[in-house]
């Protein structure tokens, strides 16, 4: 697993490119904390690097990409306000199974826990919460005679597993997603969900606007390049 690295830092906050496979913080499962050592998480890594900094939001373990951390209480509260009021533009890259007739779309479907399971769902969920996801097709490929699409995804809300659940709800699951039905990509050199948090754009407290971008990791780029080459050869 790659190490996280800082892609932006000033006196108030920093942005980190989190590698796939790293938990943001410890989780409790079967009566114990996982991983056993907190320094193996992004929160533990940050605590050693900048003890005063606090992570503002989360990504799934196997989702790579950009995460903000505040270095001051004022900016921590400010970021929380921006996320709560939907004033941060979030862009993800996602490889998904299938092809789209329309190259842009909006998924507006409440999300909640599936009855008796740990999965989230849009189909008769318990305690449903509003969730909105926009997307745009930016690439189309063929692999083993099956269509695969590369999307830019813009979640307008921040529900647990939102992008993965919403794309699965329209029968376009994220490639490699073991929980929501994505096709395997192990033969292409990766075995995790192909989802990357690419950028965040927002207004700073002083009124300036900033866009922070995190490069996609090697496994993501390798698969996209492989799919592009295979599609060219097939045409």
User: What confidence score (pLDDT) does residue 235 get?
Assistant: 60
Same domain, 209 and 119: yes
Assess contact for 45 and 27: CB atoms under 8 A: no
Same domain, 196 and 224: yes
User: What confidence score (pLDDT) does residue 31 get?
Assistant: 75
Same domain, 220 and 111: yes
Which residues are identified as catalytic?
Answer: 60
Of residues 5, 1, 51, 7, the one with CA closest to residue 22: 1
How many domains is the chain partitioned into structurally? 2
List, for residues 30-79, the tens digit of each pLDDT value. Answer: 777 877 778 789 999 999 999 999 999 999 999 999 999 999 999 999 99
Q: For residue 208, give its domain range.
A: 89-235
Same domain, 42 and 129: no
Same domain, 72 and 122: no
Q: Where are the beta strands (DSSP E) in the chain?
A: 5-9, 13-18, 27-29, 32-34, 54-55, 64-70, 89-97, 104-108, 111-113, 120-121, 126-129, 132-143, 146-155, 195-203, 209-213
Assess contact for 140 and 99: CB atoms under 8 A: yes
User: Whole-model pTM above 0.75?
Assistant: yes
3-state secondary structure at position 220: helix
What length does the chain have? 235
Domain boundary (59, 85, 111) is at 85
The CATH number linked to 230 is 3.30.2350.10
Same domain, 112 and 213: yes
Same domain, 195 and 225: yes
Percent of the chain with pLDDT over 70: 91
List, for residues 185-219, the tens digit of each pLDDT value. Answer: 666 666 799 999 999 999 999 999 999 999 999 99
Same domain, 105 and 218: yes
């Amino acid at each position: 697993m790659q190490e996280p690295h800082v892609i932006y830092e000033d006196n108030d906050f920093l942005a980190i490119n989190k590698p796939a496979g790293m938990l943001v913080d410890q989780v409790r499962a079967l009566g114990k904390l996982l991983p056993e050592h907190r320094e193996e998480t992004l929160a533990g890594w940050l605590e050693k690097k900048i003890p005063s900094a606090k992570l503002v939001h989360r990504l799934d373990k196997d989702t790579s990409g950009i995460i903000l951390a505040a270095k001051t209480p004022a900016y921590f509260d400010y970021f929380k306000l921006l996320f709560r009021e939907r004033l941060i533009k979030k862009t993800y890259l996602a490889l998904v199974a299938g092809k789209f007739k329309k190259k842009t779309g909006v998924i507006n479907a409440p999300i909640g826990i599936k009855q008796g399971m740990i999965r989230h769902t849009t189909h008769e969920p318990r305690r449903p919460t509003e969730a909105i996801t926009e997307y745009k097709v930016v690439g189309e490929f063929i692999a083993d005679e099956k269509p695969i699409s590369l999307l830019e995804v813009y979640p307008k809300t921040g529900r647990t597993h939102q992008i993965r659940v919403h794309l699965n709800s329209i029968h376009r699951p994220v490639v490699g997603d073991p929980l929501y039905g994505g096709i395997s990509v192990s033969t292409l050199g990766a075995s995790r969900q192909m989802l990357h948090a690419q950028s965040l754009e927002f207004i700073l407290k002083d009124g300036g606007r900033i866009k922070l971008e995190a490069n996609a990791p090697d496994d993501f780029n390798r698969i996209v390049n492989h799919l592009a080459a295979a599609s060219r050869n097939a045409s």
